[in-house]
Structure 1
Amino acid sequence: MGCGVRGVILDADVILTPASSSPAQGPDDAVHLPPLADRLLRRLRHSGIRTGIVLRSGSPSCMVEFFMNLAASHAFECFGLNSRSAEDVVCEIQKSWGEDGRKIVYVVSESSKGMLIEPTSHGWVVVDLVSEASGSNKNGNSSLMYINSLLQLPSVICSIIKKTTSSDVLKVGYLMKPSREEDFAKRGAFPMHPTPNGLTFMPLSFELPLHSQLNEVDLVLHKATDEIVSLNLGMLSEVSARVNYSKGMQEVKSYLEHHRQVCVVDPFDKVYPIVDRLEIQQLLSDLKDLDGKRKHKIRGPKFFKVDSFDEEVILTAKGKFPFPCIVKPQVACGVADAHTMGIAFEVDDLMSLRVLLPAIVQEYVDHFSTLYKFYVLGEEVFHAVKRSMPNGTRLRKLSESNGLKPLLFDSLKSLPTVTGAETDLPGNCSSPKAHSEVLDLDLVTLAAKWLSDRMGLTIFGFDVVVQEGTLDHVIVDINYLPSFKEVPDDIAVPAFWNAIRKKYDSNRKQEGSSAC
């Protein structure tokens, strides 16, 4: 109790220092926030780390105004020296933030060193931002640390928290594209303060030496598919050899292969099938094992693969299933146009589709214009209901208005819709009762656990549509580490943390000192 980090105090020069990789001022002498500083302030805010900025005496009015506006937008406090002594400012901070035994981390730059307090005064941990690497500590003084980039500060904070709290706290290093991190972080999913089940989250950066960062963490959480550079699914080799990652992600993969003691959510080989829609379809074909004597069936869509849209393909398509059909690139992510799909209403439409090849041609399932998004977070399964594309007859009307052409769309941006089209659920409404009449939640939950066992994934999502008439439950997509943004944060985020912790504990129990 009373351990951890109470907050972070930053000298203004730390935010605007050249060491933060961006000039503080432009030609017009306006003050600008460097990208690294903005990233740091966002991470501190989303993590609930109280933050303060100290302005030195004689700061230009434009700088004072800049920081006051910044404080409002980033939810931190400003403390000005003005004519007051440094000791008065320290007392103001201590009074404002209270005394609870937790550490205050005070970050200074070379230009402002010693402006506020001496390194060991007041029990604060002083972090010196230097222009060259000087090691993480000097002379064994735990109250004085050194970094050479603001990117290293979250690691320092997490280390202090881990060191001063329970030994059971796990440091989770996470890697994903900035926009995805922002989505997770602003919902409170990546706190630096320990979660109730003992996790502290540290961002990993390709801009810093990866080996030293990975040496610090107990578990790695990644969205490797964000870092796919290229794929060649036409090769006969293992999928792992067909997926090329960025240099940084390749280094992470190599590190994990040689340091089995570091748990990973999830192992790269478990993620590979997600990038290949053909593998996904083949996996879903085994869902028939779950049907038994149940009232409804759960299955994948009928499909076939094409390498080109030639006459032979046209002849094959005629005997497979009724049109319309949906055409998707075989590669599911990581390359341009992976999400560009087409809907063909006649067999001959296939010839004019501009969809990345090889491709998967699958049946278009009329589904009450309703999509059920399922999220698997460890042992927990959640779902949300979303509006979806209309039935085939309504889509055909949209095609007719477009000159009877096949429809092309990006599934990440917008789906084909028909103005005024409503969901076609029983009673023509979207009430919980209407959904309960068509959705067999027990069946889909059973399928979720089956998929989890078969794929070996901890956190994933899949989309289900219920076919009109037969009420078949059809899984049309699977994805790794989804945002689960449709599930309320107070439900989804704790489940997310529990899934990560249970994955770690399970692997420690099963494999001792080896990793997942």
Structure 2
Amino acid sequence: MKNKGILFVAIDLNRPLLDQGPFDVVLHKLLGKDWCGTIEDYRKENPEVAILDPPDAIEHLLNRQSMLNDVTDLNLSDCHGKLPLVAKPLVVDGTAKSHELFLAYDQFSLSELEPPLVLQEFVNHGGVLFKIYIVGEAIKVVRRFSLPNVTKQEVSKVEGVFRFPRVSSAAASADDADLDPSVAELPPPPLLEKLARELRHRLGLRLFNVDMIREHGTKDVFYVIDINYFPGYGKMPDYEHVFTDFLLSLMRSKDKNRAAQ
């Protein structure tokens, strides 16, 4: 990115952050009480520097209940849960365990799982989910293979809990697969723009992605099932171009604010 005038400098965690720089943007993916205090002290001394993103806002996404409350508060639809249920660990801490996924066919089998958990109604979605990458104002969408549909016969006959590996990954890309057009059609841009705008405001974040599914057999019934902070943008189309434009836009905004003062 040097040809765009952007220079990345690694932060030395063994030295006080206030002694380093100067920086135009602090880009990080660290948490913990000490680091949060360090960032907060730095923000107070350098209010003109963009922090991507504030630790207190990031922490909001480490709990799937608080994470999805922001989506529920949008009040876009009324949902009524039923079996089977998807069970996910409550805490998102980047470990393999936090990405474990279980499908429970009956409520009694939930006792086999280790709480705390978040339970979501399983919705047939054609085995495809949409990963919506948000970088500032930019939105990019990719398709990923997901859990297959579950029939009514399976629900009535099957008991117990089934464990799935991590569902969405770069290797599970469905963008080039021969999919039914009704499954492959991307969510409409106006919906994505409104969702991204509202979540940016509610979460106070500029770097995150949203996992969304379309209810199978419908055209415009969508569900948000997960939100992730600072995802692997290498899986996003044109990520270098998008990320570069985003950083440059921060600098233009910063220069405009200086000129106005």
- Regarding TM over 0.5, the answer is yes
Matched, 1:388 2:146: yes
Matched, 1:218 2:5: no
Q: What is the aligned partner in structure 2 of residue 502 from structure 1?
A: 249
2 CA distance for matches of 1:433 and 1:410?
26
| 502 and 408 in structure 1: CA distance in 2 versus 1, 3 angstrom threshold | same
The Cα shift of 1:450 comes to: 2.4
Question: Within 5 A, what are the aligned runs for 1:268-417?
Answer: 268-288=55-75, 302=79, 321-333=81-93, 337-354=97-114, 356-357=115-116, 359-393=117-151, 396=154, 404-411=159-166
Question: Within 5 A, what are the aligned runs for 1:112-127?
Answer: none
Q: What is the aligned partner in structure 2 of residue 479 from structure 1?
A: 228
> Is contact 1:378-1:458 (8 Å) kept?
yes
2 CA distance for matches of 1:413 and 1:464?
12
Q: What is the aligned partner in structure 2 of residue 444 from structure 1?
A: 192
| 456 and 503 in structure 1: CA distance in 2 versus 1, 3 angstrom threshold | farther
The Cα shift of 1:341 comes to: 3.1
| 465 and 220 in structure 1: CA distance in 2 versus 1, 3 angstrom threshold | same
Q: 1:430 aligns with which of 156, 165, 179?
A: 179
2 CA distance for matches of 1:285 and 1:250?
31
CA deviations 1:361-413 (Å, max 9, x no partner) are 1111110000111111122111111111111239959x96xxx4302345378
- 3-state SS of paired residue (1:389): coil
Q: What is the aligned partner in structure 2 of residue 183 from structure 1?
A: none
Q: Identify the structure with bigger relative contact order (alpha carbons < 8 Å, sequence gap 6+).
A: 2
The alignment covers a number of residue pairs equal to 254
CA deviations 1:44-90 (Å, max 9, x no partner) are xxxxxxxxxxxxxxxxxxxxxxxxxxxxxxxxxxxxxxxxxxxxxxx
Amino acid in structure 1 at the alignment position of 2:188: D
> Is contact 1:369-1:387 (8 Å) kept?
yes
1 CA distance for matches of 2:153 and 2:189?
28
Q: Which has the larger radius of gyration?
A: 1
CA deviations 1:298-336 (Å, max 9, x no partner) are x6x95xxxxxxxxxxxxxxxxx62211111222222567
> Is contact 1:263-1:504 (8 Å) kept?
no
2 CA distance for matches of 1:287 and 1:494?
31
Unaligned runs of 5+ in 2: none
- 3-state SS of paired residue (1:372): strand
- 3-state SS of paired residue (1:255): helix
Q: 1:456 aligns with which of 200, 204, 220?
A: 204
Amino acid in structure 1 at the alignment position of 2:28: H
Q: What is the aligned partner in structure 2 of residue 492 from structure 1?
A: 239
> Is contact 2:109-2:160 (8 Å) kept?
yes
| 335 and 249 in structure 1: CA distance in 2 versus 1, 3 angstrom threshold | farther
CA deviations 1:113-133 (Å, max 9, x no partner) are xxxxxxxxxxxxxxxxxxxxx
The Cα shift of 1:439 comes to: 3.4
2 CA distance for matches of 1:432 and 1:485?
26
Q: Structure 1-normalised TM-score?
A: 0.44
2 CA distance for matches of 1:434 and 1:411?
21
Aligned-residue Cα RMSD (Å) equals 3.4
Q: 1:206 aligns with which of 9, 13, 19?
A: 13
Amino acid in structure 1 at the alignment position of 2:22: E
The Cα shift of 1:502 comes to: 1.9
> Is contact 1:326-1:364 (8 Å) kept?
yes
The Cα shift of 1:501 comes to: 2.6
| 273 and 208 in structure 1: CA distance in 2 versus 1, 3 angstrom threshold | same
Amino acid in structure 2 at the alignment position of 1:254: D
2 CA distance for matches of 1:332 and 1:512?
41
> Is contact 2:129-2:144 (8 Å) kept?
yes
- 3-state SS of paired residue (2:126): coil
> Is contact 2:48-2:254 (8 Å) kept?
no
| 413 and 468 in structure 1: CA distance in 2 versus 1, 3 angstrom threshold | closer
- 3-state SS of paired residue (1:204): coil
Moved more, 388-397 or 450-459: 388-397
CA deviations 1:96-125 (Å, max 9, x no partner) are xxxxxxxxxxxxxxxxxxxxxxxxxxxxxx
Unaligned runs of 5+ in 1: 1-190, 228-244, 290-298, 303-319, 418-422
| 412 and 258 in structure 1: CA distance in 2 versus 1, 3 angstrom threshold | farther
Amino acid in structure 2 at the alignment position of 1:350: L
